[in-house]
Structure 1
C-alpha cells in the first residue's frame, strides 16, 4: 500500500485522510462493475468528467481494475446513434443513469469529456504499462472515433474542431465543462483536450493546427475562453481557461507566463462556486513550476475536507505526483522526477509507489536531493532526475544531488 511520510505532520495527516476517504468510495463487489464513486455524494454513480480526473489518484491507490472497467464502459457507450458522445454517467452496476439521460438525442454531454476520456485512458497506459489500455478493442475503437468520426460529426465548418450548438441546454451538448458558459460554440477546454489527445496519438500535424488556431485567440493579455456566435469571448472562463495550460495548449515562454499571471489573478478575484473546479488548479500550477501557488491551492482542498469524491482522489495525486513531479513512462520502463516541494515542506517520502510492474521508494529533500530505490520489478527501471538518468535494478538505490549555490 502506498504510504507518504514527511517532515510536515500536516502533509502526513492530509494523505492519511485522502487515502482513506478515496478508498471508502470504492464500489467494487457483487452485482457491480469494478468501480468507485465519481460524482456528487448524493448520486450513487460514476461520471465521465470525474473518473477522468480521479484516475491518477486511483492508480496510486491500486485501483487499476476499477479504472480499466469504468473507462472501457464509457468507451463502449459512444455509438453512432449518440454521434460518438459517450454516456455522461452510469450506476455502479453499469446501468445508464436516467438522471442525465432521456434518449440518444437528449442526454448530458460536454465536448471536453470526449477527448478527456481518451487522453486520461492513454495516460493510464503511461502509469501502468498494461497493454490492455492500447489493445482492448473497445478502447482502441474509442481513441479512433474520438479523434475521427466524433470530430467529423460535429464539425460544421470543416476546420477540424467540433462545435456545440451554443444553447444553454446541457442535454443538447455544451462546448465546455463550465456549464455556466453553455452559449459557447467552441471552448478553450474542448480545444485543449483535443490537442492533448492528438499529441498522445502521434498526430502532431493535426495538433499543430489546433495550436495555430488557439494562438489566434490571444488579445495581448490573455487567451479567449472560447467563441460565441458573436466571435471571441475574452471573459473569465474557469475550466475553459484553467484546463488550457493543464493540457499544454498555451505552450511555454513569455506569453504563457503572462497567461498564467492572468489566471492566478482571476482565481483570486473570481473563484468558482464548486469545489471540484478548484481540484484542477494544483495540477496545472505544478506542471508550470508555480509550486508555491500550487501548494496554496492544494491546502485549500485539504482544509476543505470536502466529501465530493474528486477532492480526496486528487489530493492523493497532488501530494504524490504533484509534489514529486512524476512523469511515468511504464511502457518504456522509465520515470522522471522533478521536485516541486514548496518552502514549508523540507522532505517527502513516497513508499510502495506503483509504476507499471515496479514499486519504488522516492525520498525527496527540498529541491536538491532525490533518492530513489526500486523495491521490486521485472528488470531495470530508468530513473531521470534533472539531467541524470540511472538504470536501477530491483533492490538498487540512486541518489542525485543538485548544486543550488
Structure 2
C-alpha cells in the first residue's frame, strides 16, 4: 500500500509543483518572518523553504479547522510524526493556530478502544485518514508517535509560552495516559521491551497480510523492517517522552513525581548504551527482531533527534555513519538541526543545500521545507526560547565569516529581530510589548563583554560536546535594541 501511495505522491507533486512555481512569488511577499544572509545560498534556501511550506497551509474553513499539510500531499492530511517534526518550523512561519488545532485533535482522540492510540493521520474533513484507519480495531499506528507528540507539545510551550500545551485538560489527559496506560497496554516498560510480544493488541482473528492488523502498534518509525519486535527509535522516544513529562511536572512544582519519571526515563537511556551498542562496528543497532537478533537499518536519526545518547564518542560515530549514506528525504529533513546541535556545522549547511536543491528527489515533501526553516532558525542562528524563564538564547553556529539576520520572528508572545554580525557580535531587537531576558552566547573563552558599548559581566559554560561558551545575560525591554560583543 505504501509503495502505491508513494507513486501517486510523485505524480501529484509533479503536477502541483507547476502551480507552486507559478504562484510562490506571491506567497513570498507576505509580511511574516524574513531571513537575510551574506551567504546567499543559505538565504535562497530559506526563501524557497518559506514559500514551499506556506504553500501547504490548509484552508481554515475546512471541517478540520486550521491545518497544514504534514503527510503525503494526495491525502490532504496531517500525520503525528510529521506534525511533531514540523511544528517549530510552522511556529516560525506564523502557523500558530494550525499547530494548536492539530495537536489538540491528536490528544483529543486517544481512547481505550484503540489501546490509548490516537489517529495516526487526520484529514481536512476532520476524519481519520482512510489510508491508515478502518475502525478502532484495525488501523495503522507507529508507537513512537505518542511520545513524539508529547515532546512536541512541550517544545511548543517553551517556544510560545502558551500554557495551553501543558495545562489544557485534553493535554493533561493525554500526558497521563501516554506515560502510564499506553506503556502498559503495549508492554513498553524498560524491563519488557525486548521480550514483549510482537502484536500485544492484535485484532482477533489476526491476519498477517493485513497491514491494519500487522501494523496496529508498529514498534518503530521504520516501516520496512520485517519480523520486528522493537525499534531503537521507540526506546529513544520513550526516554524523551518520560523525560518531557518529568519536565512538565517540574514546571508545575510536582518535584517528587517528576523524579519518578526521570528515573523511569533513565532506564531506557541506560538500556540503549548497554544493550543496543555494537562494540565491533562502533554503531547502534536499530531494531530487535522476534527471533532474538539485533540488526541495523534506518532509525539512528531518532536516537539523535530525541537526544538519547550519553557518550560523545558514540554521538560522533553515529553522525559519521549518518553522513556516509543517503537517506530518504523524511529522514534527511531532521539532519540540519541535528548536525547543528551536535557541532557539525558545515555538514548541517550541506544538508540544507541538498534539501533545497531543485534536483533533489521529493524535496517538495512538506516535512523538508519545515525542516530547513527550523535548521536555519534554531540551528544556524541558535535561537532557543524558554518560556520557563521568559528568556531567549542565541548562538551563531558557523565556521565562516558572514552576517545573518532574521526579523519578525514570533516567540514568547513577542516579535524579535536577531542579527549575528560575526561569531563574536550579535544584536537583538524586541519589537513586542513584553520584556525578555537575552542570553547571548558565543563559542570561545572570551574575558570581556559589552552591551551597547558598556562593559558587562561575561560568564562561561561548556556545551554537551565540552566546548567552551562565553555568554552574557541582559534584559531587553519592549522597543529596545541591544548589541552585544565579546573580546
| Residue in 1 that maps onto 2:393 | 336
Alignment pair present for 1:396 and 2:440: no
Pairwise mapping of residues 280-299 of structure 1 onto structure 2 (< 5 A)? Answer: 280-299=334-353
Pairwise mapping of residues 290-309 of structure 1 onto structure 2 (< 5 A)? Answer: 290-303=344-357, 304=360, 306-309=363-366
Whether the 8 Å CA contact 1:164–1:174 is kept in 2: the answer is no
Indicate the structure whose relative CO is greater, using CA pairs within 8 Å and at least 6 residues apart: 1
Alignment pair present for 1:323 and 2:380: yes
Alignment pair present for 1:363 and 2:419: yes
Match of 1:30 among 49, 61, 68: 61
Pairwise mapping of residues 36-185 of structure 1 onto structure 2 (< 5 A)? Answer: 36-155=68-187, 159=191, 161=193, 165=198, 169=211, 171-185=215-229
| Residue in 1 that maps onto 2:449 | none
Between the aligned partners of 1:347 and 1:192, the Cα distance in structure 2 is 36
Whether the 8 Å CA contact 2:426–2:440 is kept in 1: the answer is no
The number of aligned residues is 395
Pairwise mapping of residues 184-223 of structure 1 onto structure 2 (< 5 A)? Answer: 184-202=228-246, 203-216=261-274, 217-220=276-279, 221-223=282-284
Alignment pair present for 1:231 and 2:292: yes
Gapped regions of structure 1 (runs ≥ 5) = none
Report the CA distance shift for 1:42/1:286 in structure 2 as closer, same or farther (over 3 A).
Answer: same
The C-alpha deviation readout for 1:320-345, integer Å capped at 9, x for no partner, is 121112222024211111222343x7
Note the C-alpha offset of 1:153: 0.5
Whether the 8 Å CA contact 1:380–1:392 is kept in 2: the answer is yes
Between the aligned partners of 2:80 and 2:149, the Cα distance in structure 1 is 7
The C-alpha deviation readout for 1:128-165, integer Å capped at 9, x for no partner, is 00011111111111111111110010117772659572
The C-alpha deviation readout for 1:30-61, integer Å capped at 9, x for no partner, is 23311111111222111111111110110001
Report the CA distance shift for 1:288/1:164 in structure 2 as closer, same or farther (over 3 A).
Answer: farther
Report the 3-state secondary structure (helix = DSSP H, G, I; strand = E; otherwise coil) of the residue aligned with 2:429. strand
Between the aligned partners of 2:193 and 2:34, the Cα distance in structure 1 is 43
| Residue in 1 that maps onto 2:303 | 244
Pairwise mapping of residues 351-390 of structure 1 onto structure 2 (< 5 A)? Answer: 351-385=407-441, 386-390=470-474
Moved over 6 A (4+): none
Between the aligned partners of 1:191 and 1:158, the Cα distance in structure 2 is 8
The C-alpha deviation readout for 1:174-231, integer Å capped at 9, x for no partner, is 1111111253212111111211121122221111111111111212211111211233
Between the aligned partners of 1:298 and 1:308, the Cα distance in structure 2 is 14
In terms of mean alpha carbon deviation, does 23-32 or 285-294 score higher?
23-32
Gapped regions of structure 2 (runs ≥ 5) = 1-31, 200-207, 247-260, 442-469
Report the CA distance shift for 1:11/1:255 in structure 2 as closer, same or farther (over 3 A).
Answer: closer
What TM-score do you get using the length of structure 2 for normalisation?
0.77
Report the CA distance shift for 1:355/1:29 in structure 2 as closer, same or farther (over 3 A).
Answer: closer
In terms of mean alpha carbon deviation, does 158-167 or 225-234 score higher?
158-167
Report the 3-state secondary structure (helix = DSSP H, G, I; strand = E; otherwise coil) of the residue aligned with 1:390. strand
Between the aligned partners of 1:91 and 1:380, the Cα distance in structure 2 is 38
Note the C-alpha offset of 1:353: 1.1
Larger Rg: 2
Whether the 8 Å CA contact 1:371–1:400 is kept in 2: the answer is yes
